[in-house]
Amino acid sequence: MATIGLDKLYYSKITEDENGEETYGLPAVLAKAIKADLSVELSEAVLYADDGAAEVIKDFKSGKLSLGVDDIGVSAATDLTGATIDDNGVLISTSESNGPSVAVGFRAQKADGRYRYFWLYRVKFGLPATNLQTKGDSITFSTPTIEGTVLRRNKLDGNGKHPWKAEVTEGDASVPAAVISGWYTQVYEPVYSGGV
């Protein structure tokens, strides 16, 4: 079903242990969302046998997330891009600014009024783009865009896999209500009863 809205854009700082496995901090509001574009790049291999394709493997390689937001606050900018704040409270971006990876969560409203919820487990952002324009006969809003690379997380889930995204639709009969009501209290952790 088509989506007609986007809101509740959050991020969660990541702490890594000595093995690189992620622990997620409490989610915080990133900004008011205007637009989110997610594209995925796959690694593909085709095995040919008997003059035709016998096996095809398509694995997640990485993704690109482009977020249009109303404004990136100073706190979010330091957490996402590695920029610093000087003694006068001025945000300083340097050529060495290299922010840590974060998890990103948001929701998209569907045409039936229900929401589809997302967590991207590991996103590495670059510096935000700024587009400015002088006022003319009419007012045009200029808003920042920030782009990040979506990666799989290092920590294995209960099935021994490396997830990169969690997605759920509100109102699905198989989804406990607590999953939706707690979506922004912590980064969603996959649950499996069997495991590996």
List C-alpha distances in Å: 107 to 7, 56, 130, 152: 6, 33, 25, 20
Where the chain has pLDDT below 70, the residues are 1, 129-134, 138-142, 194-196
Structural domain of 129: 7-181
Asked whether residue 189 is domain-assigned, the answer is: no
Asked whether residue 140 is domain-assigned, the answer is: yes
- Specify the pLDDT at position 98: 81
- Specify the pLDDT at position 177: 92
Asked whether residue 193 is domain-assigned, the answer is: no
The model's pTM is 0.82
Number of separate domains in the chain: 1
- Specify the pLDDT at position 130: 67
- Tell me how far apart the alpha carbons of residues 103 and 30 are, in angstroms, rounded to a whole number: 11
Asked whether residue 191 is domain-assigned, the answer is: no
- Specify the pLDDT at position 131: 65
Backbone angles phi, psi at 10, to 5 degrees: -125, 160
